[in-house]
Copies of this chain bind each other. A is one copy, B any other.
Amino acid sequence: MFTHTHALQYEAKPDGPDPDFARKMQEILGGQWGEMTVATQYLLQGWNTRLPGKYKDLLLAIGTEELAHVEMIVTMIDRLLDHIPLKPDSADRSKEAAAGYGQHNPQHAIQNGAGASYMDSMGNPWTGAYVTASGNLMADFFYNATAEMQGRLQVARLYNMTDDPGVKDMLRFLITRDHYHQQQWLAAIEQLKDDGLENIPVPEAFPLEEEVTDLGYVFLDASDGPEAANGRWATGPSIDGRGTFSARPIEATADAPILPPGDPRLFPTPQMQGQSLIQKAKDMLT
């Protein structure tokens, strides 16, 4: 259960409106790697995990913090939209040039009345398909670490797309928290290993003796890039400590497949020409 305070975790106030940047900022609100994704993902992983204790507690704590970031970004976008141009000729009235007019998101005016919405910078609505909660914490913590990397990368790019001191201040906060959260998930990965709960390859519990020959340690080269095998992944001891990496060209090991004829009740193109020819013959006779 949640409770809410109107006070913000961190200030979200631009020095002036900027509808062009408001549109761009939607990416970190409702985009694939935005705050909606991490907030709802960490909470879902926390609720779903069947392992009580510190991991569950961590997930629910962080997911709740991310809700505060959603709130801050929504508030920032609202303020960036304080003066949204309604027509090309009104573009001059604000500090936004004609260039900025072209970039602004018209749904911010038509649909939201100068407010944010759960979409990305190209107007795609946020979708639950962005969220992963597999029940295997190692797999999910790697995804969480990725999400914080992609997220920090996007905020750092946005940081270079504005000169507004107020905006930059909030972006700095988000970049800093993403810095911590990257480390947090990497630390949680280490903790999972230390606790003996999971390891590489995920899922560790699948019996390795069921695997096929040496294919767990071989780079198969399917392209002609000359340096493809010149990396750590093709030589030396394997990452899981159980083998040695090698490399060889990819090769086919099974014959070209031949499928049986289709079910005639589904009207596929028949393998035998009989059916249609017979039909034609029948038509000619009648």
Contact = CB atoms under 8 A, between A and B. Distances in A.
A118 B109 contact: no
Given A156-B206, A216-B176, A115 B192 contact: no
A270 interface: yes
Given A50-B261, A250-B65, A255-B7, A58 B233 contact: yes
Interface residues of A, number: 206
Contacts of A219: 61, 180, 184
12 contacts: A1-B71, A32-B129, A44-B74, A50-B262, A57-B228, A107-B120, A113-B267, A119-B128, A127-B128, A146-B146, A160-B265, A185-B233
A284 B169 CA distance: 27
Given A150-B143, A216-B180, A270-B51, A3 B6 contact: no
A233 B184 contact: yes
Contacts of A113: 48, 134-136, 153, 157, 262, 266-268
A217 B4 CA distance: 22
Interface string A155-171: 01111111100000000
Interface string A201-236: 111111010111101111111111111101111000
Contact of A129 (B125, B132, B263): B125
Contacts of A212: 10, 172-173, 176
Contacts of A7: 1, 252-256
Given A64-B3, A64-B223, A91-B99, A128 B117 contact: yes
Interface string A41-63: 00110011111111111101111
Nearest to A186: B239
A201 to B, nearest CB: 4
Nearest to A23: B106
A175 B267 CA distance: 13
A10 B253 contact: yes
Contact of A267 (B99, B156, B161, B256): B156
Nearest to A24: B106
Among A79, A131, A224, A225, residue most surrounded by chain B Cβ atoms (within 10 Å) = A225
Contacts of A6: 57, 60, 223-225, 256-257
Nearest to A128: B118
Contacts of A136: 113, 149, 153, 267-269
